[in-house]
Amino acid sequence: MCGRYASTLPPEQMAELFKLLNQLEMVPRYNIAPTQPVVAIWEEAARREAHFARWGLVPRWVKDPREFPLLVNARVETMAEKPAFRDALKHGRCIIPASGYYEWHTGPDKKKQPYYITHADGRPMALAGLYATWVGPEGEEIDSIATITVPANQQLSEVHDRMPAILEGDAIEQWLDVRSVSARHANQLALPLEDGALKFHPVSTRVNSARDDDPGLVEPVALEKPEPPQPRKKVAGGGAQMDLF
């Protein structure tokens, strides 16, 4: 899954890169977590604009968002059939600009080591996502999003078995074009990137806390080396057979 990411692209560069008709005032973020407001891009009435939205999809048909489970990710294998996602796949596709994302690798000792993952050439990412606008009984509105995950490519499987769907080039245009591009075709755009397209390095476990949000979180750290095995002590008076145990 994708549960944390960074987004540091300046508003004017974001507008130019993604052909936006607006700019949002925002500060660089290095540890964006679920339930927080994020920047998402979608097209509505032929206008492509950036919006602030809650990370955690709330479908239109939900009665009370406070009683609805947190939907952070949508799996590409099932999103076309899941009631929570299928309408958004047809009418509410979006992209989420990111500088990189975090994933946790569980080692043999069950400890989880976070890694920061970026494009190999350092350029910004366009994460494939779904959005919905929930309207409450008093007319209040909540825009919300979920990121889409796909099976990890061989390179990223060293860290985790899933990765976000990252769109490039014409795939971005087709994904956002909900008027002309069907949900079935859009579903086929969400694919793992090829091996070598991304790079990753271990980072501080400070990223585990959403309260920490600073440039140091994306800096590489050295992994602790496991202690070398200690030689076995022979039992005094033991024979060769005892030394085997």
Question: Which of 158, 236, 156, 141 has its CA nearest to residue 198?
Answer: 156
Find all residues with CB under 8 Å of 175, minimum gap 6, and list them: 93, 95, 128, 167, 181, 186, 189
Residue 168 has, within 13 A of its CA and on its CB side, a CA count of: 11
Q: How far apart are CA 2 and CA 72, in angstroms?
A: 8
Query: Do residues 202 and 115 lie in contact, with contact meaning Cβ atoms separated by under 8 Å?
Result: yes
Question: Which of 188, 39, 184, 57 has its CA nearest to residue 132?
Answer: 57
Under the phi-then-psi rule, with left for phi > 0, alpha for psi from -120 to 50, and beta for the rest, what region is 226?
A: beta
Catalytic residue set: 2, 103
**CA 191: distance to chain centroid?**
14
Q: How far apart are CA 176 and CA 192, in angstroms?
A: 18
